[in-house]
Amino acid sequence: MKTDSTIKQQLQAEAYRLGFSFVGVAKAGFMDEEARHLEAWLERGYHGEMGYMANHFDKRVDPTQLVPGARTVISLLYNYHHPARQADPAAPKISQYAYGEDYHFVLKDKLKSLLQFLQQQVGAVEGRVFVDSAPVLERDWARRAGNGWTGKHTLLIHPRAGSYFFLAELIIDLELEPDPPMKDYCGTCRKCIDACPTEAIAPEGYLVDGSKCISYLTIELKAAIPTEFEGKLDNWMFGCDICQEVCPWNRFARPHHEPAFEPDPSLLELTQRDWLELTEETFRQVFKRSAVKRTKFSGLQRNIKFLQPREPEKP
């Protein structure tokens, strides 16, 4: 009969074979501290128009609401770092995570394979897979599972690999030995806080006003971008990587090895003029499998237009 440690080792080995970089295990249970933090964050209105963040509160803080009888949360990290820059330095910028195919589909297939592998090794195991598509506090579970610590920009940081990772989970009714959490190594550093052009990160860190975040403004916000942010988006048209680019821990980040995350050949070659003259046909071609489709052609046009300097009004 296989021991828990053997099952865990086999699970980790299969996850690495599937391309995941880190695998951690946490004991499933009610997230008391995280529930208080989430409630306070919502009360401050930091979720902006992301009304879904206030939905299914009980499910967000209790994995047994998602998987009856859940005993273990397996947290997995998948590298998406692509250090190549756009050829035209004046071109509006896009976050690295959206260069290639939509990660939801790529990782969900891998997670389903991993769950099937576990069931083949153990037998009857009930569980579900999650990739940023259900009410799961992914960064908190990754932290609990020892996959890193939550940085002052509130993203997960791994000391050997930085923060350019997608997070995913398996919530199962099989009990596995949990991993210890990791120490916070941000120390006195405040580079992410000082670099954020919209001052979305609280002065003391570890708290982000989502309604001020460039990623929110260019992706989640469906209404017009408030004029108070004119000249503050640092030329980002979809997402933002500023707080990651300045983080000292990302000197350890290495390029990913996932073919699905390679950008469309033309993406990095498009010039500023190309983007200004972008047609819906080109949009569909370049982003046919990308997460950028989420903002739609009209949304991306809105963002690009907002980045252009406004002509002074005539007297």
Encoded tokens for 252: 């350890």
Which of 62, 88, 132, 274 is the catalytic position?
Answer: 132
Encoded tokens for 298: 């009209």
Closest residue by Cα to residue 222 from 279, 165, 157, 303: 303
Cα 98 to Cα 102: distance, rounded to the nearest angstrom = 7
Longest CA–CA span in the chain (Å) reads 84
Cα 3 to Cα 227: distance, rounded to the nearest angstrom = 60
Which helix (H) or strand (E) segment holds residue 73: the answer is strand 72-79
Say whether 132 is catalytic.
Answer: yes
- DSSP string for residues in 146-212: TS-EE-TTSSEEBTTTBS-EEEEEEEESS--PPPPPPPP--TT--HHHHH-TT--B-TTSS-B-GGG
Q: Which residues contact 88 (CB under 8 A, 6 or more apart)?
A: 270, 271, 272
Encoded tokens for 60: 């967000």
Catalytic residues: 132
